[in-house]
Amino acid sequence: MKRKYILAAAALFVIAAVTAGCKAIDDEPSAAVNADVPMPSLTTMEKLTESLAETDTDLAEYAVADTGTSQTVQTVQSETAVPAIPAVPAGGDAEPDEFRTETATQAESADTAVESISLTFYSVSLETGQSKMPIVTMLPENASDKSEIWESSDPGVAKVNELGSITAVSEGNCIVRVTSAQNPEVSAEVEVTVTAGAQITYIGGILVVNKTYALPADYNPGVDPEAQAAFERMQADASEEGLNIYISSGFRSYDYQAGLYQRYADRDGKAEADRYSARAGHSEHQTGLAFDLNSIDESFADTKEGKWVSRNCWRYGFIIRYPADKEDITGYKWEPWHIRYLGEETAQAVYDSGLCLEEYLGITSEYQD
C-alpha cells in the first residue's frame, strides 16, 4: 500500500515540476528565477513514467477494492454526458415534426378532388318569372376546388345564373345541371317544370318590359341579386379611377310606380309624362334589373362618371337602356343615367350592335291607348 502512495506522490511531483518549468519558460522574468526551479533529469522522468505504467492496474484495483467508487464515477459520467445531436439534413435546419405534418396535410388537401355533389332539392315547379336556388354541398369537405358550373338544357324554359339561381322563362320542362369545375365527371341535376303564372314576357331569354309589354301588379321580385353584384363590381372599378357612381333609384313596386307616374301626369300632363315616366306595370324598375345612377338629368352624360358609364357599363352586363335619338323606338327620351342589366354576354352583343334593345329584339314599344 505504501508503494502505491509513494508512486502517486511521485507522479504529482513530476506534474508540478513540469508545470512550474512551463510557467518559468512562458514568463522567463530572469535567469535567477529559472535557476531556482528544480528540473528532473530525463532518466528520472523515464523511470517515473515506467513505474506509473506498471502500477496502472494496481491503482484501478485499489479504487474498486478500497473505495468502491469507480462504478459511481462511471455512472455520473454517463448521466452528465452531452446528449447526442441528431444529424441535420444537408441544405438547412432540421424540420420540426409538426411542420412536416402540416405541410403533408396541405399537400394532401391540394390534391383532393370533389367526389360527389348534393342539392337541397332535385326537382322544382315554378311559375313564369319565379326564381329559386338550391343549396349545393360538395364532398369531401377538404376538396381543394369547389367551383360550380351551371347550365340549363333549355334557357327558353328556365335559365340559370352562375350562382345557381333558376328563373322560369316560359311553360315547359328542362334540366338544370351543376358540375364540379375541378372534376367534370361529378354533377347533379334539377328537373324544372315551368307553368303559366303572371303574364311576363321573355324574348330570347330576356325579360322585356316597355310600353307594349307589361308586368302584373303582384310581380314584386325586389332588386335582382346578380344585377346588384354586377353594379357593385362596376362601382368598385370606377372608384379606383377616382369616380363616384351610385344608385339613386333602384327597384320600384307596381304601386310605387303608379303614384310616381300620376304626380308627373298631374304636373306636366299625360302626353309629356309618357315621354319620361312609365305607367304602372310598364316600368323596368319593377323587374329589379334597372338602376338610375347619380343625378337624374341629361347633364349626367357630360360628367366624368357619365362618360365612364357610357363607355364601360356593358363590361359588367349593363346597357344604356334609352339612348339618344331613339325615342321613337324605345318610347322614352334619352336617359344617360338609366342602365338595364342583361348579363355580360348579351350586354356586349347589344352594345356592339349599336342598337337599342327594341331594335336588337325586333319588338315595338307602344301603349295600346
Cell numbers for 22: 512551463
Alpha helices in 269-361 (DSSP H): 270-276, 304-312, 327-330, 344-353, 357-361
Give the C-alpha separation, 253 to 251, whole Å.
7
Q: Are strands 123-127 and 187-195 parallel, antiparallel or unpaired?
A: parallel
Catalytic residue ranges = 335
Angle between helix axes 42-62 and 2-27 (nearest 10 degrees) is 130
What is the C-alpha separation between 163 and 166, in angstroms, rounded?
9
**Pick from 335, 360, 317: nearest CA to 231:** 317
Dihedral (C-alpha) 100, 104, 105, 107: value to the nearest 10 degrees?
A: 140
Cα separation, 136 vs 120, whole angstroms = 7
